[in-house]
Amino acid sequence: MVNPTTWEFKLREGVKWHDGTDFTAEDVKFTFERALSSTSDFKGQIGSIKEVNIIDLYTVQFVHTGPNPIFLNQLTAIFIMSKKWSEEHNVTTPQNRAAEEENYAVRHAMGTGPFKLELREPDVKTVAVKNEVWWGLEEYPPKVDEILYTPISNPATRVAALLSGELDFVLDPPVQDLDRIKSTLGYSIMQTPQTRTIFLGMNQGVDKLLTANTEENPLKDKRVRQAFYQAIDIDAIHKKVMRG
């Protein structure tokens, strides 16, 4: 942080876009100004940005309307786009979803990562191939040359495709099928602890609920809120829904 309202970033040098051009501060400035456009779905997440300034080829500063201590978290929602690629394909502004507009960037993409998008057919398949000029190739060599992503919405069909050999990997298989997968020769489950909170919010701050035909707001009564809590069978969720 240069001052309470300014964040400065030094970009990794030597990074190439998938078309071989250099990744620079120009792309960062362009991307964030694009993300602040009126048709952008992301403008609300980075609305505190007042201006983006290029200091040099690999240094960029974000000036905010006020102090923004969570800017680093907000940054993870914005993926940098190539200014040159966007200009070539007429996607310098985001699609207008309200007008059901679709532009080139909806089904195409170009980044700087270890895999390049080769084919994008929504709800059918997405194909990504190894990027031979990725900056991290020597330190983090990919273990595959191609990734074929096949959306299968039905959980049972997805597991059946895995066990038949049609798929190599399934993300988040149904909890009830984990034992079946583990007991099948040649298959294994990779799992890790996860922190997840599901919050049931009750509008106790108003005198009258807008969605109920009651004179007063019953949720203002602590006993009513406790009744909701006590009606939830936590053990059943743990044992049956989450399978322990």
> Do 155 and 120 belong to one domain?
yes
Which tokens belong to 145? 């040359």
Does pLDDT of 213 surpass 90? no
Residue 94 lies in a domain: no
| Boundaries of domain holding 16 | 6-88
Residue 218 inside a domain? The answer is yes
pLDDT of residue 119 exceeding 90, the answer is yes
Residue 135 has pLDDT above 90, yes or no: yes
Residue 224 lies in a domain: yes
Query: Based on the domain organization, do 14 and 83 belong to the same domain?
Result: yes
pLDDT band per the 50, 70, 90 thresholds, residue 98 = confident
Centre a 10 Å sphere on the Cβ of residue 186 and count the other Cβ atoms it contains.
6
Cβ 149 vs Cβ 125: under 8 Å: yes
Identify whether residues 67 and 12 lie together within a single domain. Answer: yes
Q: Parallel, antiparallel, or unpaired for β 115-121 and 59-64?
A: unpaired
- Give 11's contacts (C-beta < 8 A, 6+ positions apart): 23, 24, 25, 28, 58, 59, 60
Answer whether residue 107 shows pLDDT above 90: no
Number of compact structural domains in the chain: 3
Tell me if 22 is assigned to some domain: yes
Overall pTM surpassing 0.75 (yes/no): no
β pairing state of 6-10 and 49-56? unpaired
Shared domain check, 118 and 74: no
Choosing from 53, 88, 123, the residue where a domain stops is: 88
Q: Does any domain span residue 38?
A: yes
Which of the four pLDDT bands, split at 50, 70 and 90, describes residue 156? very high
For residue 199, pLDDT over 90 is answered with no
> Is 35 a residue whose pLDDT tops 90?
yes
**187 part of a folded domain:** no
pLDDT score of 114 more than 90: yes
pLDDT digits (tens, 9 = 90+) for 64-94: 999 999 999 999 999 999 999 999 999 999 9
